[in-house]
Structure 1
Amino acid sequence: MTLRVLCFSDLHRNHIAARQLVKMADEADLVLGAGDFANRHEGLSDTLDVLCAISTPTVLVPGNGETVEELRDATKEWKAATVLHGEGCVIELKGKAVPIWGVGGGIPVTPFGAWSYDFDEEQAREMLAGCPENAILITHSPALDTVDKDSTGRVRGSQTIREKILEKKPRFAVCGHIHDDWESQVTLGSTPVLNAGPNGIFVEVPE
């Protein structure tokens, strides 16, 4: 049996895409939002005010455009949503306990400056240390040399996330962050890895 999972990332205040995601979520068992709901910390609440109509169980991580504190504050009234950052949760879906681990922010540190919510590889290692085997992994940043190529073809992902996927073998990993690789999917080890993008992608994930 599989779970039908709706994945998205990098809305950046795109309310048209957010309203479409609300409609799509009715057809999903689980919704995963891989960060960057705001633009440089602006517009987070108005984007979440649209998304909070989703009643399907939803797990979010912050992007580099909002902090985990800002995201938790903006989702206080969204009963279906769980925000993760360096931590995990277990959600009951179809009568089974599904472990999910989440890490947000830009990894490694981006060139964007002080506004960007970033972490270095050592900090990422600490935040990923508790990830269990065979979980669903949701990160804002992609694993190095997977779905992380920018417009010049340069890879921009995280070595630590790559190592952790190979070590812990998540059943599925979703990310965003690198816009030029939106909707791309590869397999790393045995794990399907998706850079979701704002339009919403349905994937079938083993229970």
Structure 2
Amino acid sequence: MKILAFSDLHRDKDAAWSLRDAARAADVVIGAGDFGTRGEGLADTFDILRDITVPVLVVAGNHDNLAEMQAANRGWPHLHVLHGSGVAIGDTAFFGLGYEIPATNEASWNQRLSEAEAEELLAACPDKAVLVTHSPPYGVADLQRNGRHEGSRAIRAAIERHQPQLVLCGHIHHAWGTKGAIGHSEVHNLGPAAHWFEI
């Protein structure tokens, strides 16, 4: 299975067009959140990406309106919005969780979960799934510009427990393109460029 994955488009239409074109070579497309900016502009990229004809699995970023994303399902049959939920594509299980974890920004538009809330939602993740989160796990692909790790301890614990075959995330822009491992699970912080994975 050939996976095209990205995160953090933040209304970048040129990046969305490029990803839409690249998706012709993919079996599954994964978007790890932040399609909009400050709760606005989801349609700027969704309207371009909806032309993709393979399964598109997305999680909500902290800048996204989850209800608006879920409403897009009605006109986009290939879209799967994952938030404490999963889907099987062929023999592969995918599980997703969106939002900022842990909560650091109290702005009204910022979509966030506490570590306890995230832990509860991640309990349903199957072993050996492909895990898609907006926030990275603590200590891997989560380094801020100031040198601090700002990933989620609940996501890290879920990875240690369920050992996903692949973990895809975004959120921390300074960490785009970085990767690491937790046990046997590879973790990749994506960013808005096309990233390819074979499973």
TM-score, length basis structure 1: 0.93
1:173 alignment partner in structure 2: 167
Structure 2 counterpart SS, 1:26? helix
CA distance in 1, matches of 2:189, 2:106: 20
Structure 1 counterpart SS, 2:74? coil
Contact persistence 1:52–1:75 (CA under 8 A): no
Structure 2: runs of 5 or more not aligned = none
Tell me how large the CA RMSD over aligned residues is: 1.0
2:128 alignment partner in structure 1: 134
Match of 1:11 among 9, 12, 16: 9
Offset of residue 113 of structure 1: 1.9
Match of 1:185 among 144, 160, 179: 179
Offset of residue 132 of structure 1: 0.7
Deviations 1:41-96 (A, max 9, x none): 1111121001101112110000001132121123431221100101111112xxxx
CA distance in 1, matches of 2:121, 2:114: 11
Alignment identity in percent?
41
Offset of residue 11 of structure 1: 0.2
1:145 alignment partner in structure 2: 139
Deviations 1:141-166 (A, max 9, x none): 00001001111111110000001101
Q: Equivalences for 1:19-98 in 2 at 5 Å?
A: 19-92=17-90, 97-98=91-92
CA distance in 1, matches of 2:118, 2:85: 12
Structure 2 counterpart SS, 1:76? helix
Contact persistence 1:4–1:204 (CA under 8 A): yes
CA distance in 1, matches of 2:186, 2:198: 10
2:108 alignment partner in structure 1: 114
TM-score, length basis structure 2: 0.97
Deviations 1:105-134 (A, max 9, x none): 000002252210000000001110100101
Contact persistence 1:91–1:99 (CA under 8 A): yes
Contact persistence 1:4–1:203 (CA under 8 A): yes
CA distance in 2, matches of 1:72, 1:187: 31
CA distance in 2, matches of 1:57, 1:162: 27
